[in-house]
Structure formats: structure tokens, C-alpha cells
């Protein structure tokens, strides 16, 4: 297993969810450290703007954009093939993109549930599988999977989001053990209340009343206090140090401790952090990206 610091300037970094929030800041920080970039997002105009800013500041780097809907498995497979063909010197994959969905399980449709699983879990799995041969062609590569606070605790009305983030957490831990034999490392990231737009942009189940959805988003907005640029800095530092796990913010650190000591009380603590035990029932997840 590689123990030396990750060397950013030795190859290309692939970053999903790069058009805004934490992803945009991670892209800039990776460029500052000398990584060539493949930036992926479904929002083409915003992605192009991020890439243009990076190119202006770092004209010597290669910065490629890929506008892809990660909910489409065929599009993800095609993306992986293009990246491997065009960027043989892959050194880093950051699976950062994610979507949110609020609503109790009984009122969600299976299509809504699958949409979250496709973007948050299946896309990272498919992309990692496609890029793994190139990443492990020589020792020293690194993979980052951005899970969530909700990959640690399980609030009601977050069945799809929690399922996707717990699944990504488990996948990451197995992958870490397997890639250690190939000289590569893995970091799992659990952001808490990061100040981004994911909560405002969260999809709400079609069977959830508008007033209930609006109240939930307002409640959860109170938790989004940790600056996205600071969170990105912690992620890039964790990459350099090859940290196996990163918890960002007290809203992730404290529930993690409690969930390990008293697993049944994880959501009780989360409710206290929110300020009222019943409000989270209508909620949306933290602004992880």
C-alpha cells in the first residue's frame, strides 16, 4: 500500500459534480497543485464557466469538460470509455456528484428512489470500475468517494439518500482494502452541513405536499453553515495525506461518535442539532456538494 503523500502533478484527476459547491472549489485546488483535470457535471454552462476560470489561472494544465447525466448508466459507461481513451495518466478519481430526495418511503415512487441510487451510488461504482485499470496501472493512485452525514445516521424521510450514501460508504471500505494490494488508496468523505445549494435544489417526492416540502427545506437550511471552500480544502488535504476517512464539521463528527457508542440514538442527536425533534421529518439532506 502506498504511504507516500499523493502527488497531484503526476497525472490527471477526474472530478464529478464540478460545476458548483464543493466540487468547484476542489477543482480549483487540484489545479493549484498541478493536476490536469477532467471535470464532469450535468450543468454544461456552469461547468464551462468553472473550466474557463481554471484555464485562465493555470494555462499550462489540460482541463477537459464532460457534460453527462450520471443517472443514465449508458452515459456513464460511455464517459468512462472516453476518459480512459483520452487520459491514460489517470491518478485521481473524486466521485463527488450527488442528488437529494425528500419524502417518506411510503409516498416515494420506485422511479424516484432509483434515480437517487443511480446518481449517488451506481454512477460512482460504474465510473470507478471503468477507470480502475488505468488508475492502478502504476502505484500511487487515489479514489475519493463523497458519502454524507446521512451515511452515518438515518433520519426519517431520507430512505433513498441514506441508502445511497450508506452503500457508497460500504463500497468505499471494501475498495480500500482491495486497492491496498495494488498500491492505491481510498478516502471516504462524510460532509456535515456544508453551505451549498443541494438542499435548495433537492427533489421532493411527487406525492409530498408543497407546504410540507417547503417547511422541510427551510428547517434544514439552518444546518448549512460550514463553508464549501473550507470543506474542499479539507478534502484536498485528505487526498494528499491519503486519509482513509474524513468527517467534515461538527454536524458529522458528533453524530458519528454517538452512532458508534449508541447506534439507536443517532437520529435523536441529529434532531437536537436541528433544534426541534420533529422538524427533520420533512427534511432534505445536508449541502454536501
Q: Which of 150, 161, 220, 270 is catalytic?
A: 161
252-268 in b/e burial notation, b at 16+ Cβ within 10 A?
bebbbebbeeeeeebbe
Cell of 21: 459547491
Q: Say if CB 226 and CB 128 are below 8 A apart.
A: no
Cβ contacts of 104-112, under 8 Å, gap ≥ 24:
104/156, 104/157, 104/159, 104/205, 104/281, 105/159, 105/160, 107/205, 107/207, 107/208, 108/159, 108/160, 108/205, 108/207, 109/205, 109/206, 109/207, 112/160, 112/203, 112/205, 112/206
Interaxial angle between packed helices 21-32 and 228-241, expressed in degrees from 0 to 180 and rounded to the nearest 10:
50
Residue 3 lies in a domain: no
Residue 162 lies in a domain: yes
Q: Say if CB 192 and CB 227 are below 8 A apart.
A: no
* pLDDT at 273 (0 to 100): 54
Residue 232 lies in a domain: yes
What beta strand segments (E) does 56-146 contain? 63-67, 90-95, 101-102, 142-146
* pLDDT at 163 (0 to 100): 97
Measure the CA–CA gap between 123 and 76, rounded to whole angstroms: 7
Per-residue pLDDT of the chain (289 residues; tens, 9 = 90+): 447 999 999 999 999 999 999 999 999 999 999 999 999 999 999 999 999 999 999 999 999 999 999 999 999 999 999 999 999 999 999 999 999 888 889 999 999 999 999 999 999 999 999 999 999 999 999 999 999 999 998 888 889 999 999 999 999 999 999 999 999 999 999 998 665 555 555 666 667 666 665 655 555 665 666 788 999 999 999 999 999 999 998 778 877 887 777 676 656 655 665 554 344 334 444 444 4
The answer to whether residue 33 is catalytic is no
* pLDDT at 2 (0 to 100): 47
Residue 289 lies in a domain: no
* pLDDT at 284 (0 to 100): 46
Residue with C-alpha cell 456528484? 97
Which residues have a Cβ under 8 Å from the Cβ of 62 and sit 6 or more positions away?
12, 36, 37
* Nearest CA among 52, 21, 24, 2 for reference residue 239: 2
CATH of the domain at 217: 3.40.50.720
Residue 156 lies in a domain: yes
CA-atom Rg of the chain in angstroms: 18
Structural domain total, the chain? 1
Residue 287 lies in a domain: no
What does residue 129 show for φ and ψ, rounded to 5 degrees?
Answer: -60, -40
* pLDDT at 278 (0 to 100): 40
Cell of 276: 426541534
Measure the CA–CA gap between 60 and 44, rounded to whole angstroms: 23
* pLDDT at 216 (0 to 100): 57
Maximal C-alpha separation, the chain: 54
Measure the CA–CA gap between 86 and 216, rounded to whole angstroms: 43
* pLDDT at 260 (0 to 100): 79
Domain residues for the domain of 102 are: 8-282
Amino acid at each position: 500500500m502506498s504511504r507516500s503523500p499523493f502527488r497531484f502533478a503526476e497525472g490527471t484527476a477526474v472530478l464529478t459534480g464540478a460545476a458548483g459547491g464543493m466540487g468547484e472549489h476542489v477543482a480549483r485546488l487540484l489545479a493549484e497543485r498541478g493536476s490536469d483535470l477532467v471535470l464532469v457535471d450535468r450543468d454544461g454552462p456552469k461547468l464551462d464557466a468553472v473550466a474557463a476560470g481554471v484555464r485562465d489561472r493555470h494555462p499550462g494544465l489540460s482541463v477537459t469538460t464532460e457534460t453527462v447525466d450520471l443517472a443514465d448508466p449508458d452515459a456513464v459507461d460511455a464517459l468512462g470509455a472516453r476518459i480512459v481513451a483520452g487520459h491514460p495518466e489517470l491518478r485521481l478519481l473524486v466521485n463527488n456528484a450527488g442528488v437529494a430526495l425528500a419524502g417518506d418511503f411510503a409516498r416515494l415512487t420506485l422511479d424516484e428512489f432509483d434515480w437517487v441510487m443511480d446518481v449517488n451510488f451506481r454512477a460512482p461504482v460504474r465510473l470507478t470500475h471503468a477507470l480502475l485499470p488505468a488508475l492502478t496501472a502504476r502505484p500511487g493512485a487515489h479514489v475519493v468517494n463523497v458519502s454524507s452525514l446521512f451515511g452515518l445516521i438515518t433520519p426519517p424521510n431520507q430512505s433513498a439518500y441514506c441508502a445511497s450514501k450508506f452503500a457508497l460508504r460500504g463500497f468505499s471500505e471494501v475498495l480500500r482494502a482491495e486497492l491496498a494490494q495494488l498500491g492505491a488508496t481510498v478516502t471516504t468523505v462524510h460532509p456535515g452541513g456544508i453551505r451549498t445549494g443541494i438542499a435548495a435544489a433537492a427533489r421532493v417526492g411527487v406525492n409530498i405536499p408543497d407546504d410540507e416540502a417547503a417547511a422541510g427545506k427551510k428547517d434544514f437550511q439552518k444546518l448549512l453553515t460550514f463553508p464549501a471552500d473550507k470543506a474542499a480544502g479539507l478534502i484536498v488535504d485528505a487526498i494528499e495525506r491519503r486519509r482513509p476517512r474524513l468527517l467534515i464539521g461538527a454536524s458529522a463528527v458528533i453524530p458519528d461518535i454517538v452512532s458508534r457508542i449508541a447506534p439507536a440514538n443517532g437520529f435523536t442527536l441529529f434532531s437536537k442539532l436541528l433544534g426541534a425533534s420533529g422538524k427533520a421529518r420533512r427534511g432534505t439532506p445536508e449541502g454536501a456538494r
